Amino acid sequence: MSENFDVIVIGAGPAGYVAAIRCAQLGFKTACIDKFVDPSGSPSLGGTCANVGCIPSKALLEVSHNYTNTKNDLSKQGIDVYGVKFDLKKVMSYKDSVVKKLTSGVAMLLKANNVTSIHGTAKLLTNQSVEVTDNKNNKTNYQAKNVILAIGSTPIECKDAKYHKDIIVDSTGALSFNEVPKRLAIMGAGVIGLELGSVWARFGSEVVIFEAMDEFLPMADKDIAKDLKKNIEKNTGIKIELGTKVTNSTTTGNSVKVTYEKDGEISDQEFDKLIVAIGRIPNTNNVVDPSVGLKLDTRGFVEVDKYCATNIPNIYAIGDMVRGPMLAHKGSEEGVMVAERLAGKKTELNYDTIPNVVYTSPEVAWVGKTEDELKKEGIPYKTGSFPMIANGRSLAHNDVRGLIKIIAHEQTDTILGVHISAADASELIAQAVISMNFTASSEDIGLIMFAHPSVSETFHEAALALQGHAIHTVNRKK
Ligand code: FAD
């Protein structure tokens, strides 16, 4: 059976399912094709994010945080809790239940919006014809006036650390360990490595992260990255070995020997498990027939313009498979933009205000430029910071780690970047994103009233500090 659609979206991750819903809302006859199956073999929508990415990792981060907080920190507030322990099997069931709620929610939303959901592996045969192979190897062809590719990304494999059972694993494997590794090695101190390392360290693993680069979180502001490294090492005991390249790994029985090189010296250590978290590559292999002529860049990403249009007029590509940060919200907004432009609207995205968050403890979040980037671009700037320790609500929360820094243009005072390290950085950053989208100046933020006591006041105070008149911290002499 073949069917014609106005739009076929391939991939039901946060980029694809959002694009499909928005297309259907705008009156297009829309199908969304996805091949993902859960461990029981059932189709599961929501892509990497809902199944093996953002959502399960945040569920485990939340549980592990509650565990350590109850064990170590509640007594400081006068609450004595004895015999605190966790049951990993139940923790994993909780995580799976969160995933299930989300993924079935996506299925419900597609249905409610009249999107035809098709399960199977899609291949674009021509610019208007998509072949879908189901799990019994039956093939069906569908036709579409427009195709939106949203097929996401996969972890990069490492030749020096090949996956082996549940001993050498990728991020997906690391979300489902059935016991807490006594000693855990992680390759890569990027966002995923830090978050997974935090989970297992809080559950009791001795964690060592090997990072080939000399600099920690080079994409983040230097002060914030420094603050985070200090806090992670102090609070979780995670060792972050910078400038250290894993050169080999060999498994014997239930352990892995990791060989690494630092300053020209070769060493090795035994671990129970090794997580390979060295980045992700786009899923562009074998999804588009070469005769279509779709242009990829040298790293395999689909080439698109700022509106996510490819070199083929009716084919669009969004999310992790195109340039830009591999983040769920970036893909979702690209999906909305493509749908709306297909409907004749002039929707554009502001790629300069994509929020980034690392869900460690404290969390780290930023938007816009770092000082280093502005220096390189020769843009004059000024900064204002405020420490969480001077905020009443943070004190009451018993978490005063971190700071907030606002960077504004030296002459115009327009906010160019905001960088936060704090317990609630993922929530605080939204204020900065909104401010920057309305091209607010630090003076504008300083003139606004913020509820007291709230952690949000730190954004206000950092803006005042930039003006030289913060109230609750001593101002830097200019
Ligand atoms: P995906 O979510 O990868 O979805 C693509 C879908 O396409 C998949 O379901 C796939 O099965 C399907 N597909 C692929 N090929 C085909 C085909 N030929 N036919 C049919 N279907 C196909 N991002 C954040 O913003 N915040 C976070 O906190 C965060 N945490 C993360 C934690 C981890 C551990 C990981 C691994 C990632 C995390 N990410 C996070 C990144 C986020 O998951 C991705 O940026 C996001 O999922 C990308 O969305 P997407 O729709 O482009 O692709």
pLDDT number for residue 285: 86
Closest to 371 measured CA to CA, from 221, 271, 249, 265: 221
> In angstroms, what is the span from residue 187 Cα to ligand 1's centroid?
20
Ligand 1 near 14 CB (within 6 A): yes
**Does the pLDDT value for residue 269 go beyond 80?**
yes
Helices (H), 253-369: 328-342
Ligand 1 near 283 CB (within 6 A): yes
The token duo for 122 is: 């899609």
Q: What number does the ligand 1 atom closest to the CA of 330 have?
A: 25
List the strands of the sheet with 273-276, edge to edge. 168-169, 273-276, 183-187, 206-210, 239-241
Confidence tier at 476 by pLDDT (50, 70, 90) = confident
CB-side exposure of 277: number of CA atoms within 13 Å? 26
pLDDT number for residue 478: 64
Distance, in Å, from the CA atom of 262 to the CA atom of 215, rounded to the nearest integer, reads: 14
Consecutive H or E run containing 235: helix 222-236
> Three-state SS for 31?
strand
Average pLDDT over residues 18-44: 97
Confidence tier at 407 by pLDDT (50, 70, 90) = very high
Ligand 1 near 333 CB (within 6 A): no
Confidence tier at 58 by pLDDT (50, 70, 90) = very high
Average pLDDT over residues 83-94: 98
452 is catalytic: yes
What pLDDT digit, counting tens, does each position of 133-188 carry?
Answer: 999 999 999 999 999 999 999 999 999 999 999 999 999 999 999 999 999 999 99
- How buried is residue 179: exposed, middle or buried, by Cβ count under 10 Å (0-12/13-18/19+)? exposed
- What is the dihedral sign for C-alpha 45, 47, 48, 50? negative
- What region does 83 belong to: left with phi over 0, alpha with psi -120 to 50, or beta? left
What whole-number percentage of the chain has pLDDT above 70?
A: 100
Closest to 152 measured CA to CA, from 283, 53, 333: 283
What pLDDT digit, counting tens, does each position of 413-446 carry?
Answer: 999 999 999 999 999 999 999 999 999 999 999 9
Radius of gyration of the chain (CA): 24
Ligand 1 near 328 CB (within 6 A): yes
The token duo for 232 is: 């992670």
- Number of helices and strands in the chain (H, E): 13, 22
pLDDT number for residue 477: 72
Distance, in Å, from the CA atom of 38 to the CA atom of 42, rounded to the nearest integer, reads: 5
pLDDT number for residue 446: 98
C-alpha separations of 330 from 148, 249, 309, 419 in Å: 15, 35, 16, 19
pLDDT number for residue 305: 98
pLDDT number for residue 301: 97
Pocket-testing residue among 8, 54, 172, ligand 1, by greatest number of atoms within 8 A of Cβ = 54
What pLDDT digit, counting tens, does each position of 195-245 carry?
Answer: 999 999 999 999 999 999 999 999 999 999 999 999 999 999 999 999 999
Contact between 31 and 144 under an 8 Å Cβ cutoff? The reply is yes
**Does the pLDDT value for residue 1 go beyond 70?**
no
What percentage of the chain's residues is helix, strand, coil (to nearest 5)? 35, 30, 35
List the strands of the sheet with 244-252, edge to edge. 244-252, 255-262, 265-271
Q: What is the mean pLDDT of the chain?
A: 97
Distance, in Å, from the CA atom of 401 to the CA atom of 232, rounded to the nearest integer, reads: 11
Pocket-testing residue among 38, 42, 45, 49, ligand 1, by greatest number of atoms within 8 A of Cβ = 49
Question: What's the N-to-C CA distance of the chain in angstroms?
Answer: 73
Distance, in Å, from the CA atom of 477 to the CA atom of 464, rounded to the nearest integer, reads: 14
- Please give the backbone phi and psi of residue 469, each rounded to the nearest 5 degrees, phi first: -140, 50
Which residue type occupies 155? P
> In angstroms, what is the span from residue 98 Cα to ligand 1's centroid?
17
Confidence tier at 2 by pLDDT (50, 70, 90) = confident
Angle between helices 191-202 and 222-236 (to 10 degrees): 20
